[in-house]
Each structure stands twice: as structure tokens, then as C-alpha cells.
Amino acid sequence: MVGNYSMIRKIKEYAKKENIPIMVDDGIDFLTTFILKKHVSSVLEIGTAIGYSAIMMAMVDPNIRVTTIERDEKRYLEALKNVKEFELEDRITLIYNDALNVRLEEKFDLIFIDAAKAQSIKFFEQFEHNLNDGGAIVTDNLKFHGLVAKKEEEIKSRNLRGLVRKIKNYISFLEENKKYDTEFFDVGDGISVSIKK
């Protein structure tokens, strides 16, 4: 366990040094507690980065399996290395591809969307058929570092304004989606949990 703790610290330090966005501590606590409480045993993650959240989710319980998708080769290779170091190759499946090109048959208890923030609706619609009845779709970064709460004119960059608009559209999409009960949590960078009715 001490070994695991220092390996996790190493992954977090690497992410910081290389400027790779990974879940913040209270976000990952929320996610792993949710997994534990809801007895989640299978997870599909969109956006592996270097495998940090996939490893943290798999470590909640030895019965949990995670499939995770990453389109950036360097990050995918780093995730592969990290998953091997944790000896989780039999429980974490890494897919190197753009998630929008991936079609899966398998069903999961939890789908965790943590990839390109402008494309969350697409990811949701593409993978919702992979969700078990009663399963949950969880999305991170709905506050987008506080920018979503700001007035548009306060955001100087045009690109960022566009991105924030898309995150707001995604929030409305979740609120209006009658097939799911969605709750929003002011934890980490803003997390939604959508439970399939």
C-alpha cells in the first residue's frame, strides 16, 4: 500500500511537470466513493491521459474492470507503463484511438466522460447504449476552472468563450434529458452524475 501511495505520487508529479490535466483530489475522492457506494464493477472512461483516474478507480475494489480510451499517443504509452507498474493489466484495458471512432458492444455500470470538453454531448450520445440499466454517466470539469460561472464578456479569449458556451450547452442537455436523473455536484472542478432511469 505504501508502494502504491508513492507510485500514485509519482504519477501526479509527472502530470504536473508535463502539464497534463488529471482529476483534482476531491474530484477523485468523490468518484471513488461513488464507485464504492454504488457497487460499480465495470467502468468505461473517455479520456485516460496517463491512467491516473483509471488506476484510482480500479484500486477501489479487486473486482472492478476499467476500459479507457485515449487519443494522444504519448499519454497512452505513459498510461500503459503506469498500468503495468500497478500490475493492473488484467483489469484495465487501454484503447489508443479517438473515442469518436470507437464502437463498443460491452455494457458498463459507469461511464466517466473526461475528454475534450467541447464534445461531451457527442461522447454521451455515442456511448449511452453501453450503459447498464440503472447505471451512471459521470462528467468532470463542468465548472471549467471557474470560467462557467463568469459572464461571457469577462472571458477574454475567444476560444475559451466558445468552449465555455459548449459546456453550458452540455449542462442544459443534461438538465433536459428525460431519460436520466442528473445531479450536479460542486466538488472538484464540477461533476455531474446522470443516472439512467
Site residues for ligand SAM, window 74-93 (CB under 6 A)?
75
The stretch near ligand SAM (CB under 6 A) out of 68-76, 127-135, 157-165, 172-180 is: 68-76
Q: Shortest Cβ distance from residue 108 to ligand SAM (Å)?
A: 15
Residue 167 as a binder of ligand SAM (CB under 6 A): the answer is no
Element (H, E) at 131: strand 131-139
Residue closest to ligand SAM (Cβ): 47
Edge-first strand order for the sheet with 92-96 is 92-96, 65-70, 42-46, 108-113, 131-139, 191-196, 180-185
CA distance 172 to 33: 26
Residues pairing with 131 in the sheet: 108
Residue 98 as a binder of ligand SAM (CB under 6 A): the answer is yes
Site residues for ligand SAM, window 101-120 (CB under 6 A)?
114-116
Residue 72 as a binder of ligand SAM (CB under 6 A): the answer is yes
Residue 191 as a binder of ligand SAM (CB under 6 A): the answer is no
Element (H, E) at 120: helix 120-127
In three-state secondary structure terms, 56 is helix
Residue 52 as a binder of ligand SAM (CB under 6 A): the answer is yes
CA distance 103 to 127: 8
Residue 99 as a binder of ligand SAM (CB under 6 A): the answer is yes
CA distance 85 to 11: 11
Nearer to ligand SAM, 70 or 109 (CB): 70
The stretch near ligand SAM (CB under 6 A) out of 35-43, 71-79, 156-164, 166-174 is: 71-79
Residue 29 as a binder of ligand SAM (CB under 6 A): the answer is no
Minimal CA–CA distance to 137: which of 174, 168, 103, 172?
174
Contacts with ligand SAM, residue ranges (CB under 6 A):
21-23, 47, 49, 52-53, 69-72, 75, 98-100, 114-116
